[in-house]
Amino acid sequence: MYKKFTLVLVLFLAVFSIPAQNQYSTCYTYNIKAGDEAFDQERYEDAKRFYVNASKCANPNTQEAQKKIKECDFFLKLTAMLDCDRKGVTDYDGNTYVTIQIGNQCWMAQNLRTKHYANGNPIPQNTDRTFSSTDAYYYDFKGKLEGDKYISFINGFGFLYNWPAVMRGASSSSSNPSNIQGICPYGWHLPSDAEWRELINYLGRNSSYVCGNKSSNVAKALSFDRFWKESSTDCAIGNDLSNNNSSYFSAVPIGSFVEGKYRSGAYLTAFWTTNSEGDKAYVRMLHHDSGEVTSKTFPKNRGFSVRCVRN
The residues near 202 (Cβ < 8 Å, ≥ 6 apart) are 102, 103, 104, 105
Domain containing 276 equals 85-310
**Number of domains into which the chain is organized:** 2
**Mean pLDDT for the stretch of residues 224-231:** 93
Assess whether pLDDT exceeds 60 at residue 232.
Answer: yes
| Among the ranges given (69-78, 150-159, 185-194), the one the predictor scored with the smallest mean pLDDT | 69-78
Assess whether pLDDT exceeds 80 at residue 298.
Answer: yes
Q: Domain for residue 37, yes or no?
A: yes
| Among the ranges given (23-27, 88-92, 147-151, 253-257), the one the predictor scored with the smallest mean pLDDT | 23-27
Q: Domain for residue 7, yes or no?
A: no
Angstrom distance (rounded) from CA 289 to CA 238: 6
Structure confidence at residue 24 as a pLDDT band (50, 70, 90): very low
27 with 152, same domain? no
Assess whether pLDDT exceeds 70 at residue 54.
Answer: no
| Among the ranges given (16-25, 50-59, 73-82), the one the predictor scored with the smallest mean pLDDT | 16-25
24 with 102, same domain? no
Q: Domain for residue 279, yes or no?
A: yes
Assess whether pLDDT exceeds 90 at residue 264.
Answer: no
28 with 130, same domain? no
Angstrom distance (rounded) from CA 287 to CA 291: 8
The residues near 183 (Cβ < 8 Å, ≥ 6 apart) are 112, 114, 117, 123, 161, 165, 166, 167, 168, 190, 306, 308
Dihedral sign, Cα of residue 205, residue 208, residue 213, residue 216: negative
Supply the pLDDT for residue 72. 59
pTM of structure: 0.77
Angstrom distance (rounded) from CA 223 to CA 244: 6
116 with 229, same domain? yes
| Among the ranges given (39-48, 146-155, 159-168), the one the predictor scored with the smallest mean pLDDT | 39-48
62 with 207, same domain? no
73 with 106, same domain? no
Question: Whole-number mean pLDDT of the chain?
Answer: 79
Assess whether pLDDT exceeds 80 at residue 5.
Answer: no
**Mean pLDDT for the stretch of residues 289-296:** 98
**Single residue among 65, 82, 99 that ends a domain in this structure:** 82
Q: Domain for residue 306, yes or no?
A: yes
Q: Is the peptide bond before 253 cis (omega within 30 degrees of 0)?
A: no
39 with 111, same domain? no
Instruction: With beta carbons less than 8 A apart as the criterion, state whether 269 and 254 touch.
Output: yes
Supply the pLDDT for residue 16. 39
Instruction: With beta carbons less than 8 A apart as the criterion, state whether 306 and 162 touch.
Output: no
Structure confidence at residue 25 as a pLDDT band (50, 70, 90): very low
Q: Domain for residue 108, yes or no?
A: yes
126 with 151, same domain? yes
Assess whether pLDDT exceeds 70 at residue 50.
Answer: no
Q: Domain for residue 8, yes or no?
A: no
- Looking at the chain, the whole-number percentage of residues with pLDDT higher than 90 is 56
**CB count in 10 Å sphere of residue 119:** 9
**Single residue among 82, 103, 118 that ends a domain in this structure:** 82
Q: Is 262 exposed, middle or buried (0-12, 13-18, 19+ CB in 10 A)?
A: buried
Which range of 68-72, 155-159, 181-185 scores highest in mean pLDDT? It is: 181-185
61 with 148, same domain? no
**Mean pLDDT for the stretch of residues 88-105:** 90
**Single residue among 82, 99, 118 that ends a domain in this structure:** 82
100 with 195, same domain? yes
Of residues 46 and 170, which shows the higher confidence score?
Answer: 170
Q: Domain for residue 4, yes or no?
A: no
76 with 178, same domain? no
CA angle 167, 84, 212 (to 5 degrees): 85
Assess whether pLDDT exceeds 90 at residue 111.
Answer: yes
45 with 95, same domain? no
Q: Domain for residue 118, yes or no?
A: yes
Supply the pLDDT for residue 74. 56
